Chains A and B, each alone.
Chain A
Amino acid sequence: MVEFIHSLDRNVVEGMGQAAVAIALCLGVVILCRRFGVHVERETALSLARGLVQMVAVGVVLALLLHGNLLIAVLILLGMTFAAAVTASRRAPEIKDAVILSFYAIAAGSSVVIATLLATGTLTSNLVVLVPVGIA
């Protein structure tokens, strides 16, 4: 275990320590809420676990992909646009093809802006710049 921790990037180890403090603070708030009859223990624990696992997974994937070419950047942006479309479409479950509709809308808005930023030189076509700006 000690050898494993030593092998990790120093920032990541510090980050996990900081995340542990943040989680402890959230759990303190949950205990305080429980005192007044507000029961969010299970949902908060699940949300915290999911959030941390997802962010670490995204970080690992980005660390691997950020050395790719422009095609990889386009594929990542398309994937994120689809994820955004799925989230947005949940607001209108009664509409047929809400996901496709949302995808077209988000893709239209994002692509116009990103293309303008690339054309004016505000953004470079470097994957390290394009992907974080596109998905943030």
Chain B
Amino acid sequence: MIIANAMNACAQAMERFKADVTAHVGLIETGLALGAVPAATVAPYVQTAVYASLLPRLDMLKSLGFVCVMAGMLVSGASPVYAGIFQFIVVAMILAASGIAGLVATLLMRARAFSTAAQLTRRPGISGP
């Protein structure tokens, strides 16, 4: 469950970062031409990509308890309060794993979006190194 959600967060962050960079090639290259470091030119897209990957998990936390409960634990006779707390722990772990996965994926994508000479290599039609 944790690996599956980390996988989804990774995919969402990568897709969002790729789409944002591809859609703002002109802005990024303008920044590079004016002397900005590559990380600064794509900083807003890093933020939106990580936030987009975290959003479903944050919503999952907010809606806990209204629909889902740890059925297996209750059927096996565990305390309902402990089953509820355990469900919260599982979802909090999913949030943490997804946050780390989304952040690491986005930062690695950022590193690969530019060449060693600080040129943008990710643009429409070109996949880059």
Contacts and interface: CB of A to CB of B under 8 A. Distances in A.
Interface of A: 9, 11-12, 14-16, 18-19, 22-23, 25-26, 28-30, 32-33, 36-40, 43-44, 46-48, 50-52, 54-60, 62-63, 66, 80, 83-84, 87, 128-129, 131-133, 135-136
A26 B66 contact: no
Contact of B71 (A30, A52, A57, A136): A136
B104 to A, nearest CB: 10
B67 A87 contact: yes
B55 to A, nearest CB: 9
Contacts of B84: 55-59, 62
The 5 residue pairs across chains A and B that have the minimum distance between CB atoms:
A59-B84, A136-B71, A54-B65, A59-B81, A15-B85
B32 interface: no
Given A48-B92, A50-B61, A55-B65, A38 B85 contact: no
A40 B54 contact: yes
Interface of B, helix, strand, loop or mixed by DSSP: helix
Interface residues of B, number: 43
B80 A60 contact: yes
B68 interface: yes
10 contacts: A26-B99, A33-B54, A44-B54, A44-B58, A51-B62, A59-B69, A59-B81, A62-B80, A80-B67, A133-B71
Given A25-B96, A29-B99, A47 B67 contact: no
B89 A18 contact: yes
Nearest to A47: B61
A43 B58 contact: yes
Interface in B89-129: 89, 91-93, 95-96, 99-100, 103, 107
